[in-house]
């Protein structure tokens, strides 16, 4: 039986896989994208019903196409985002095969290329791009025993308030997911506890410009690595209900109980770190520093943008910040559900090649791995802060496509006296 051969195999048909296909196609590199489910599946089935993009439509998109029927300054819903990628894949005629899972990739022995086992047979690939996402495996820290009398779920399992049993909800993690889910539950009349760790909380907009614009002109999307000590600092923004700045004090004023980092659980009693005030202060510092940088940018460039002094008004600390809860008896507090918005881990168990460091993390430079012919795409901070976001992955894909083309040129060189075949 003949084995299917492709020059480059792209694993994953999310935004990263589609961006990769566009750049490979533009360079004439024959390729195939395998997606185990549907295009942009995670936007469809691994996110809550009311989720909208965190950035406005003019920003959170690929350069080659705008969102149809969407105000450029609006925040498209998750289905609209998924539909956008389906339309984009059609527009570029991306060779995507859906419903095919890559089960294992191994380097060929004694010859170039890779042996790829899929749920639909074997493929031989010259190179492999792992585009399986920055957020692959939900992580729930082992704090509350599974047998505890409370429903526990990861934020990927949350859909809407009606899905949850009656009772109070503890949301652990106050990044964009945790903050938005907690606010939705509060608005639905639930009693909500929100466990807040270190975070950045940029203003949704300032002086007439959305924060995505400010991060762009201030060069922050292009930062190559998180600042020292901020590796675990999450960013809390929301495009919900037209978009607004995440302000934990205002959530507390509406009845939400803020607590510090969730630490441990014994006999149904949770303990929280005494770090809430410090975490809130860190978020304020980040917020105010962005206003300062924006003001300086406006002054330096003589821009005519409206003053917004009220943006600097920080409400007084509510009781739950000045006198924080350090323990919570789940039963006494009527907590029926814990939602862990605690992030994700990578899972490349299918990729059996030498492209990982001692700790199992991808060993790469801008996505070019230590195993020649293997590439990663869409990793958080792959080349810059924007790497795991819609617009950022497009630029990283371009870089990887260029690298693949260069390698193909080297491989096609046959020595002095032979004409150089332009392989790409």
Ligand X SMILES: Cc1cc2nc3c(=O)[nH]c(=O)nc-3n(C[C@H](O)[C@H](O)[C@H](O)COP(=O)(O)OP(=O)(O)OC[C@H]3O[C@@H](n4cnc5c(N)ncnc54)[C@H](O)[C@@H]3O)c2cc1C
Q: Is 389 in the site for ligand X (CB under 6 A)?
A: yes
Q: Is 399 in the site for ligand X (CB under 6 A)?
A: no
Among 49, 101, 120, 295, binds ligand X (CB under 6 A): 101
Region near ligand X per CB under 6 A, out of 49-57, 62-70, 143-151, 226-234: 49-57
Among 10, 22, 29, 42, binds ligand X (CB under 6 A): 42
Yes or no: say if 45 and 54 are a contact pair by the CB < 8 Å rule: no
Yes or no: say if 249 and 321 are a contact pair by the CB < 8 Å rule: yes
Q: Is 34 in the site for ligand X (CB under 6 A)?
A: yes
Q: Is 177 in the site for ligand X (CB under 6 A)?
A: yes
> How far apart (Å, rounded) are the C-alpha atoms in residues 48 and 288?
30
209 burial via Cβ count (<10 Å: 0-12, 13-18, 19+):
middle
Q: What are phi and psi of 127, to 5 degrees?
A: -145, 160
Kindly state the smallest distance separating residue 134's Cβ from ligand X, in Å.
Answer: 6
Q: Is 80 in the site for ligand X (CB under 6 A)?
A: no
Q: Is 331 in the site for ligand X (CB under 6 A)?
A: no
Region near ligand X per CB under 6 A, out of 40-48, 184-192, 247-255, 317-325: 40-48
Going by C-beta distance under 8 Å and a sequence separation of 6 or more, which residues neighbour residue 366?
382, 383, 396, 399, 400
Q: Is 318 in the site for ligand X (CB under 6 A)?
A: no
Yes or no: say if 238 and 176 are a contact pair by the CB < 8 Å rule: yes
Region near ligand X per CB under 6 A, out of 15-23, 141-149, 243-251, 413-421: 15-23
Instruction: Locate 16 and state its tokens.
Output: 């990263």
Nearer to ligand X, 55 or 197 (CB): 55
Q: Is 37 in the site for ligand X (CB under 6 A)?
A: yes
Q: Is 348 in the site for ligand X (CB under 6 A)?
A: no
Total binding residues toward ligand X, as defined by CB under 6 A: 33
- Given the structure tokens 């083309």, which residue do they identify? 405
Which of 182, 197, 193 is closest to 273 using CA atoms? Answer: 197
Q: Is 36 in the site for ligand X (CB under 6 A)?
A: yes
What distances in angstroms separate CA 163 from CA 49, 158, 249, one per listed residue?
11, 8, 27
Query: How many Cβ atoms sit within 10 Å of the Cβ of residue 389?
Result: 21
Q: Is 12 in the site for ligand X (CB under 6 A)?
A: yes
Nearer to ligand X, 13 or 260 (CB): 13
> How far apart (Å, rounded) are the C-alpha atoms in residues 107 and 109?
6
Q: What are phi and psi of 140, to 5 degrees?
A: -115, 115
Yes or no: say if 237 and 211 are a contact pair by the CB < 8 Å rule: yes
Among 7, 55, 56, 203, binds ligand X (CB under 6 A): 55
Residues 107-166 that bind ligand X (CB under 6 A): 131-135
What binding mask, one character per residue, do residues 361-380 give for ligand X by CB under 6 A, x or -? Answer: -----------------x--
Region near ligand X per CB under 6 A, out of 8-16, 62-70, 166-174, 411-419: 8-16
Q: Is 56 in the site for ligand X (CB under 6 A)?
A: no
Give the gyration radius of the chain's Cα atoms.
24
Among 31, 47, 190, 364, binds ligand X (CB under 6 A): 47
Instruction: Locate 158 and state its tokens.
Output: 């949350």
Binding positions for ligand X, rule: CB under 6 A: 11-17, 34-37, 41-42, 47, 51, 53-55, 60, 101-102, 131-135, 177, 350, 378, 388-390, 393
């Amino acid at each position: 039986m003949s084995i299917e051969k492709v020059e480059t195999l792209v694993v994953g048909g999310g935004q990263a896989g589609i961006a990769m296909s566009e750049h490979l196609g533009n360079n004439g590199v024959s390729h195939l994208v395998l997606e185990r489910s549907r295009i942009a599946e995670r936007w469809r089935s691994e996110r809550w019903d009311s989720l909208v993009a965190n950035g406005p439509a003019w920003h959170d998109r690929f350069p080659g196409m705008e969102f149809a029927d969407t105000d450029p300054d609006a925040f498209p819903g998750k289905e609209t985002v998924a539909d956008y990628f389906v339309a984009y894949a059609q527009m570029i005629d991306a060779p995507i095969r859906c419903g095919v899972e890559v089960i294992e990739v191994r380097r060929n022995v004694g010859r170039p290329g890779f042996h790829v086992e899929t749920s639909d047979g074997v493929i031989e690939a010259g190179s492999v791009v792992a585009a399986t996402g920055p957020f692959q495996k939900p992580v729930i820290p082992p704090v509350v025993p599974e047998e505890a009398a409370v429903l526990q779920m990861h934020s990927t399992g949350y859909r809407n308030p009606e899905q949850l049993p009656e009772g109070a909800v503890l949301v652990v993690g106050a990044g964009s997911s945790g903050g938005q889910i907690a606010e939705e539950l509060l608005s639905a009349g639930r009693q909500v506890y929100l466990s807040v760790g270190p975070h950045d909380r940029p203003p949704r907009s300032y002086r007439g410009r959305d924060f995505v614009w400010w991060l762009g002109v201030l060069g922050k999307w292009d930062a190559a690595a998180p600042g020292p000590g901020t590796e675990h600092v999450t960013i809390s923004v929301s495009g919900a209900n037209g978009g607004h700045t995440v302000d934990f004090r205002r959530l507390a004023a509406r009845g939400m109980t803020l607590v510090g980092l969730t630490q441990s659980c014994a006999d149904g009693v949770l303990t929280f770190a005494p770090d809430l005030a410090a975490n809130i202060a860190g978020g304020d510092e980040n917020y105010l520093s962005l206003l300062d940088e924006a003001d300086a940018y406006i002054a330096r460039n003589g821009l005519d943008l409206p003053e917004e002094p009220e943006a600097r008004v920080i409400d007084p600390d509510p009781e739950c910040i000045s006198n924080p809860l350090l323990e919570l008896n789940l039963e006494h507090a009527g907590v029926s559900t814990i939602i862990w918005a605690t992030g994700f881990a990578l899972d490349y168990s299918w990729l059996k090649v030498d492209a990982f460091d001692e700790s199992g993390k991808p060993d790469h430079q801008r996505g070019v791995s230590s195993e020649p012919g293997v590439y990663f795409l869409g990793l958080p901070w792959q080349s810059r802060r924007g790497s795991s976001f819609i617009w950022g992955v497009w630029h990283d894909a371009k870089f990887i496509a260029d690298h693949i083309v260069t390698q193909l040129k080297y491989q096609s060189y046959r020595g002095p006296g032979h004409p150089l075949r332009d392989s790409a």
